[in-house]
Amino acid sequence: MPVLMQGEKLEGQEGGRWEVVKKIGEGQFSEVYLVLELGSQDERALKIEKTSRVRTVKAEYKILQRLQDKCRQSVRVYECGEYPCPGPTSRFFMVMDLLGCNLAHVRRTALPEGQADPQTALVVGSSMLRALEEVHAQGFIHRDVKPANFCAKRGTEGTPSKVTWTLVDFGLAKQYMTDQGVLLDARPEASFRGSSTYASVNCHEGQDQSRRDDLWGWLYCLVELLDGTLPWRAERDAPPGGGTWAGGEVAAQLLPSPPQDGQPGPLQGQQQAGAGTGALRRDEEKEQIRQSKLQCLQQPQLLFSTMPCPQAVVEISAYLQRLGFADKPDYQWLRGRLLKLGDEGEAQAGPPPPQLAAEPATTNGVGRHGEEAVARQAPAERGSAQPQLGPEGAAAAGVSGADGASRDGQPPVQQQKQEEQQQQEGVDAPGLSKQRSRDRDRDRDRSKSRSRARSRSRGGDRERDGRGWEDGSRDGDRGRAQRGGTRELSSSRGRRSRSRGRRSRSRSREPRRRSRSRSRSRSRQRDGGRERRERPRDRERERDGARASRRSRSPERSRERDLERPARNRRQRFGRQRSQEQRGGGARSSEGVQRRGGTRSRSRTPLQQRADRGGRDRDRGGGAGGRQQRRREERASDVPAASPDAAAATGAARDHGATPAAAFLEHLPAPHGIGGAAEPALPLSGDAAAEPLAAAGRAGGTAYSADRHAQYRDLLEYVFALRHGALSVPAAAACRQLRGLEPSEAAGVLCWLLDELATATDPQHLPAVSAFCEELSAFAAGTAKRCLERAQQRGQQQQQPEPQQEERRQQEEGGR
């Protein structure tokens, strides 16, 4: 049962009144509703506690109140209040700005295979980093950094088109620095706080958290965004032995005190029912995750399974390992590394920050705040004063030592090759074997001390489980399961997760994944497949993967052949035409081109016809100006006049360096519609798209084949993401998906896409949509132009020998 009903009215402590519209989000401890402020009718979000026994909202409200004026990316809170519930207790609620959907939801629903391209990851990652930096600057750490806790937020007046990612859920946030700027001492031991999927190794090991731990969470979010998953996801998604997850116990442990209602609540019942086994399983699972994370500290490449690990991630991981408890992270440097993810960012990345220099920074975990003891516990383990990897480890991880130096003075690539060879021969690299045995000893010691610490702290731990509800579930089943008191992820969810896993594996067989999977297998071989194989779950995964690839082999090959066919046909056609021209001895210049165009005009697609018209304009002396004029006229005829506001917004977006695609985002549907109950049906995806696509294919003069459908679907999902304002995706990236299609087919799809975009959107959005379409067609026209130029160049090269032949013939005749 939801806590609030539609139409219900709530009153704040300062007299504000709100009416509930619908539920838009849910976490483990609270529900979030869309509400209307009575009077002004402004839309807001209202967060209310689910149970009176876990009270986080009031504390969260106070933190947000302190942050809102100082942090640009913070969510604004309006009022806090008490909702009278049946029974002796009430629940707290707070009213805040309404934000868009969270990143976990966007990733799963709007991104193909949950993966963003590096450009997108760069934009999203920077925004997340800035949000964290702002919070840290105010003396707080969040301690529950995960994609579900970043919500999309539109830009304000100055930057209307900008989508930023706002940090929500400060229920676990903690002050690490006093208002006077004095760092608080690290506690020698701390209980686990956060979500185990995104928690840092420090946190797993019972260390007090600081800024660096938020950044680990951020890095894991980034990796997941890029790769579509995390290596320890499998452990989370598939419970060992096919049992159910003990989410109930997790929540039950969080209960700070016995229930005040006097009745055993659902959570308490759950706790009594099976606390022992649940806690055990949870500990096992967390231990597996910790082990996985430890391996990834050694070899950041292991973080990635569907693509090669970007160097930026390797460097950030090495940097975070060196940060001490009290160290202030160098956010600017981190942003610089992020830029490397994008194509042109390399040059701006800048020199390494002090923490990456050869000598450890003097404040590294040591000093006036009592961190010395913590830092000394196991510097190599914690990676604070010394890099955790050490020179050998760093080299193994693909980092050329902390300061660029490499083992044995060899360049890192050479070392890597040597190690590869040794691994292939079944021999560990000398440095590596030492390092590994050290690591094994260290891990053994640590797990012993951890289990001691666990047995001490069990019961009082307040942790959060980041698995099940990380997307702030709007999933009715999940919500019911929690509310109904089982709080366990049902086995059907387990099945769903597993089948999702299978689906994602099978999706990875699609053609556009081929190169990635090739490089993945290469990088697996290179990156110490040995360690990976040591993990039983990996062995299973590998077996599954092998089975999947066996199954997929034949369709993949046939798809490959399909892809090659159009190019082959084109080559043959071009060859035939050339020989006909040679036989006919006709002019091969522009006249020839025109003639070819003429013979083909029956099957010209609308886009090609438009290009032809452009050509005629040029012949008539109109040139590019004529083409633009025609385009303007076309637009004017079928696009209603722009509303001044929308046009101004688009203009403003351009002024701020935003692309038209970004401007397009500005005019998307209300953010709360995304993923919520009122989410519009996805008209473009799946089988529903088959008919319009077939029509587009016919218009393009090619038969629409089922094989093509998968390719179109990717593109359409991409457009869907765009349309829902999920991400700032350049149109060129969407167009890239068109590559591999036969040009006429691609043109057909593109035309259909443009029409679809233009007609299915609200009229007031049209100026932005048309700008986006223009970007798309400019991209396509540019590509077409380049193709034409290349074809002409080839034609000219083939014509060149002819005058020489003619000369030779004349010479021969003269000689005779």
Ligand X SMILES: Nc1ncnc2c1ncn2[C@@H]1O[C@H](COP(=O)(O)OP(=O)(O)OP(=O)(O)O)[C@@H](O)[C@H]1O
Binding site for ligand X (CB under 6 A): 24-30, 32, 45, 47, 75, 96-99, 102, 148-149, 151, 168-169, 171, 464, 469, 472
Q: For ligand X, which is the closer residue by CB, 95 or 715?
A: 95
Q: For ligand X, which is the closer residue by CB, 472 or 479?
A: 472
- Which residues partner with 554 through β-bridges? none
Looking at residue 547, what DSSP letter applies?
A: H
Please tell me the distance from the alpha carbon of residue 61 to that of residue 95, in angstroms, as a whole number: 9
> Could you tell me the smallest distance in angstroms from the CB atom of residue 179 to ligand X?
25
Phi, psi (degrees; rounded to nearest 5) at 466: -85, 5
Tokens found for residue 171: 């229920």
Triad 113, 119, 125: Cα angle to 5°: 85
Q: For ligand X, which is the closer residue by CB, 627 or 724?
A: 724
Tokens found for residue 523: 């990088």
**CA distance from start to end of the chain:** 104
> Is 47 part of any known ligand binding site?
yes
3-state secondary structure of 753: helix
Tell me if 164 sits within 8 A of 73, measured CB to CB: yes
Please tell me the distance from the alpha carbon of residue 209 to that of residue 203, in angstroms, as a whole number: 6
> Could you tell me the smallest distance in angstroms from the CB atom of residue 12 to ligand X?
16
> Could you tell me the smallest distance in angstroms from the CB atom of residue 152 to ligand X?
9
**Distance of CA 492 to CAs 25, 180, 243, 501, Å?**
22, 52, 10, 14
> Could you tell me the smallest distance in angstroms from the CB atom of residue 26 to ligand X?
6
> Could you tell me the smallest distance in angstroms from the CB atom of residue 286 to ligand X?
17
Q: For ligand X, which is the closer residue by CB, 387 or 725?
A: 725
Q: Which residue is nearest to ligand X (CB)?
A: 27
Q: For ligand X, which is the closer residue by CB, 165 or 331?
A: 165
> Could you tell me the smallest distance in angstroms from the CB atom of residue 552 to ligand X?
35
User: What is the 3-state secondary structure of 565-618?
Assistant: HHHHHHHHHHHHHHHHHHHHCCCCCHHHHHHHHHHHHHHCCHHHHHHHHHHHHH
Q: For ligand X, which is the closer residue by CB, 224 or 775?
A: 224
Tell me if 523 sits within 8 A of 308, measured CB to CB: yes
Q: For ligand X, which is the closer residue by CB, 93 or 333?
A: 93
Please tell me the distance from the alpha carbon of residue 598 to that of residue 389, in angstroms, as a whole number: 66
Q: For ligand X, which is the closer residue by CB, 131 or 186?
A: 131
Tell me if 508 sits within 8 A of 502, measured CB to CB: no
Tokens found for residue 304: 């990635």
Long-range contacts of 780-786 (CB under 8 A, 24+ apart): 780/607, 780/735, 780/738, 780/746, 780/747, 780/750, 781/611, 783/735, 784/611, 784/743
> Could you tell me the smallest distance in angstroms from the CB atom of residue 471 to ligand X?
7
3-state secondary structure of 90: strand
> Could you tell me the smallest distance in angstroms from the CB atom of residue 462 to ligand X?
11
- Which residues partner with 32 through β-bridges? 25, 47
> Could you tell me the smallest distance in angstroms from the CB atom of residue 249 to ligand X?
15
183: CB partners within 8 A, 6+ apart: 176, 177, 326, 369
Q: What amino acid occupies position 327?
A: D
Q: For ligand X, which is the closer residue by CB, 43 or 774?
A: 43
Q: For ligand X, which is the closer residue by CB, 27 or 700?
A: 27
Buried b (16+ CB within 10 A) or exposed e, 775-789: bbbebbbebbeeeee
> Could you tell me the smallest distance in angstroms from the CB atom of residue 27 to ligand X?
2
- Residues belonging to the binding site for ATP are 47
- Residues belonging to the binding site are 47
